[in-house]
Structure 1
Amino acid sequence: MSEPTAAAAPGATAPDGAGAADEQLAFDVADFPGGVHAALEAVLMVVDEPVTTAALASALEQPADDVRRALAELEAGYAGQQRGFTLREVGGGWRMYSRHEYAPVVERFVLDGQQARLTQASLETLAVIAYRQPVSRSRVAAVRGVNVDGVIRTLLGRGLVEEVGHDEESTATLYGTTSYFLERLGLQSIDELPALAPYLPEVDMLDEIAEGGRG
């Protein structure tokens, strides 16, 4: 007679912690107080670029049609409540934007902020963009060795850098300096910048640097 198979003890985990990461990330959007709508807001508050419906649906583990319907409902709700922000689908993706009626307030805030001096981090990031443009956010971060999301937002807000396209392979947004940047430095073109480029890593080395920093 064969012996009965021992049942797993309550709360037991897989050997060597296998599957622990999956269990930690597992969730059910329905368990959140605000459901799908609040979960979408949480994700959209941390993105810097428009996110597709498919990507949002994957993150929430919800059907794409349900996510699209929830996005439309959020947009309509913001309009009905006369909130200072709105949700728009631009370039195939969704992102939060300030409502155009409040442009004068936003403009004054941005212009007031331009009176402050740039921080060392902003100056370093601006230099990398100036010499390596067009360059992606990840490559700028690879050169500086730190996250540059907030700094780039500041430079965008001050009109010193702008989006100039997308990388053909990674689709990452590429950044470059603006005419306002040249005006502030008294230059006619980027070609008049001092010869600093030779002291920066070559472009084809930046991905290796980035990989090393994540190791």
Structure 2
Amino acid sequence: MEMNELKAITEGLLFASGDEGITVKQLARVLDVQGHTVEHLLEELKYDYDNTGRGMLLMQSHEVFHLTTKPEHSPYLKKLLETPQSTKMSQAALETLAIIAYQQPITRTEIEDIRGVKSDRPVQTLIARSLIEEVGRKEGAGRPILFATTKDFLTYFGLTSLEELPPLPDDINTDDLEEEADLFFDTFSEQIDQSNHR
């Protein structure tokens, strides 16, 4: 496979890995190449992002690489989030928020296990709205990011503390993950609808 194609695939993998990011070892395994080849690809991508007027940056945190937007573009991203069409949250974002509220701190993978679908975009939406935040990393393989709700979350729902969240039924079947996600959503849906129409 040509280096340009490998670089394009690497870029796609970085994008798909979202805020969790991806390591050189993971990229080498997926691309079926040596680690030094991956490091070369990442150096080329970093150079491209830094020197060709692109809107993204390649960031490294410990051994994990991920894509992020350029800090100098943040006023435009903020303006996008403040546009009227983005004021109403999707059902996916609501489900994700409810899961985080009741299960925090929680990783994106754990959220996806409960929802049964990828949750990169809902998590990004909630971070952008300051309803959730990163609160550390979980011990173990890859040290995934842990998410929890923010003070803005409490304000948004008119709560003074997490203890005021509506209680969940005692007989919830934690083995039935899809049912659990639906229950979380149902618990919040009425409050969300009211908030969206303020």
TM-score range, shorter chain: 0.7 to 0.9
Higher RCO, Cα 8 Å, sep 6+: 2
Q: What are the within-5 Å matches in structure 2 for residues 170-189 of structure 1?
A: 170=141, 171-189=143-161
Residue number in structure 1 paired with 2:44? 73
Residue pair 1:50, 1:91 contacting (<8 A) in 2 also = no
Whole-Å separation in 1 of the counterparts to 2:111 and 2:172: 11
Whichever structure has more helix as a proportion of its residues is 2
TM-score of the superposition, structure 1-length normalised? 0.71
Whole-Å separation in 1 of the counterparts to 2:151 and 2:169: 20
Q: Give the counterpart letter for 1:62 in structure 2.
A: V
Q: What are the within-5 Å matches in structure 2 for residues 63-102 of structure 1?
A: 63-102=34-73
Note the C-alpha offset of 1:46: 1.0
Q: What are the within-5 Å matches in structure 2 for residues 34-113 of structure 1?
A: 34-48=4-18, 49-112=20-83
Shift in alpha-carbon separation, 1:141–1:199, aligned structure 2, 3 A: farther
Note the C-alpha offset of 1:109: 1.4
Q: Which runs of 5+ in 1 are unaligned?
A: 1-28, 211-215
Whole-Å separation in 1 of the counterparts to 2:114 and 2:100: 10
Matched residue of 2:82: which SS? Answer: helix
Identity %: 32
Residue 153, structure 1, aligned to residue 153, structure 2 = no
Q: Which runs of 5+ in 2 are unaligned?
A: 179-198
Shifted more, 162-171 versus 68-77: the winner is 162-171
Shifted more, 41-50 versus 141-150: the winner is 141-150
Aligned length: 176
Q: Give the counterpart letter for 1:177 in structure 2.
A: T
Note the C-alpha offset of 1:94: 1.0
Q: Which has the larger radius of gyration?
A: 1
